[in-house]
Amino acid sequence: MNLEEAVENLEELGDEEEVKNREKMGIKTERVLGISITDLRELAKEIGTDHELAKELWKTKIHEARILASMIDNPEEVTEEQMDNWVEGIDSWDLCDQCCNNLFIETEFAEKRVKEWSYRDEEFVKRAAFSLIAYMAIHREDVDNEELEKFLDIIERGSTDGRKYVKKAVNWALREIGKKRNKEMNEKSIEKAEEIKSKGSKTAEWIGKNALKELKSEKVQGRFNS
């Protein structure tokens, strides 16, 4: 499938009512067509892996075309420069998370990008760092406890950033490390959440309390104590 055909398919799948729903969800980008993730995944399956088409789709700046690009790109062909260029063009939380989950997490540069992007000032670049941590805790079994502990320190450093899409991602990353792995990481995440809660920042207090509520819950504790 070439670029023109891919864009035609996307436009056919567009739904004006869904565009309005996206706006209610805080997704306000240059051009939104209103296509469900399910439909995008079906189209991605039809296209298959195509690195060059992915790069062309990204350049269109169409919101769903960029999500589709993250679904069909080949992580083995993705460079650090491409990751940096793409993340700098992200302008919504959902595109950020889709790129992280569909593509960035599968590259050999994921952990390095976490460490670098967590120091950046741009809201969605910084969110991407913590979104990647969350997805690695969920999906990347090759990321061991030692690496996850390093991520906890990065989470603590980001816990005073009060911007909506950063603080939510920081909280999410902390919770995923503490509930998706093992008893040891649950205990270390609880310890880190307590430290964050006591940092003297309203944002950090919210992150710590919110994480502790879930990490200490019967549901999570039952998973590790059964």
Residue 62, pLDDT > 70, answer yes
- The reply to whether 124 and 216 lie within a common domain is yes
- The reply to whether 122 and 31 lie within a common domain is no
- The reply to whether 54 and 100 lie within a common domain is no
**How does residue 200 score in pLDDT terms, banded at 50, 70 and 90?**
confident
The answer to whether residue 15 is domain-embedded is: yes
Q: What residues pair up with 62 in beta bridges, in sequence order?
A: 31
Evaluate whether 32 touches 22 at the Cβ level (below 8 Å): yes
- The reply to whether 141 and 42 lie within a common domain is no
Residue 82, pLDDT > 70, answer yes
Highest mean pLDDT among 3-12, 124-133, 196-205: 124-133
Per DSSP, helices labelled H in the chain are 3-13, 16-24, 37-47, 51-59, 63-72, 80-88, 93-102, 110-117, 123-139, 145-158, 164-180, 183-197, 202-215, 218-225
- The reply to whether 64 and 103 lie within a common domain is no
85 compared with 226, residue with greater pLDDT: 85
Residues near 145 by beta carbon (within 8 Å), at least 6 away in sequence: 181, 182, 184, 185
Confidence at residue 226, expressed as pLDDT on a 0 to 100 scale: 66
What's the number of domains the chain is made of? 2
**% pLDDT > 90, the chain:** 73
Look at residues 49, 50, 61 and name the one whose alpha carbon lies nearest to residue 86. Answer: 61
Confidence at residue 122, expressed as pLDDT on a 0 to 100 scale: 95
Q: Which two tokens stand for residue 167?
A: 């603080």
Confidence at residue 29, expressed as pLDDT on a 0 to 100 scale: 67
Confidence at residue 220, expressed as pLDDT on a 0 to 100 scale: 86
- The reply to whether 55 and 167 lie within a common domain is no
Residue 193, pLDDT > 90, answer yes
Q: What digits encode the pLDDT tens for the residues 137-179? A: 999 888 888 889 999 999 999 999 999 999 999 999 999 999 9
Environment class of residue 79 by beta-carbon count within 10 Å: exposed (0-12), middle (13-18) or buried (19+)?
A: exposed
Look at residues 103, 105, 124, 125 and name the one whose alpha carbon lies nearest to residue 116. Answer: 125
Residue 130, pLDDT > 90, answer yes
- The reply to whether 123 and 183 lie within a common domain is yes
Report the CATH number that the domain containing residue 113 is assigned in CATH.
Answer: 1.25.10.10
- The reply to whether 226 and 127 lie within a common domain is yes
Average pLDDT over residues 61-85: 96
4 lies in which domain range?
Answer: 1-74
Confidence at residue 112, expressed as pLDDT on a 0 to 100 scale: 94
- The reply to whether 25 and 109 lie within a common domain is no
- The reply to whether 64 and 127 lie within a common domain is no
Q: What digits encode the pLDDT tens for the residues 2-50? A: 999 999 999 988 887 777 777 776 776 678 888 889 999 999 999 999 9
Confidence at residue 121, expressed as pLDDT on a 0 to 100 scale: 94
What is the CB-side half-sphere exposure of residue 165 using CA atoms within 13 A?
21
- The reply to whether 51 and 128 lie within a common domain is no
Residue 59, pLDDT > 90, answer yes
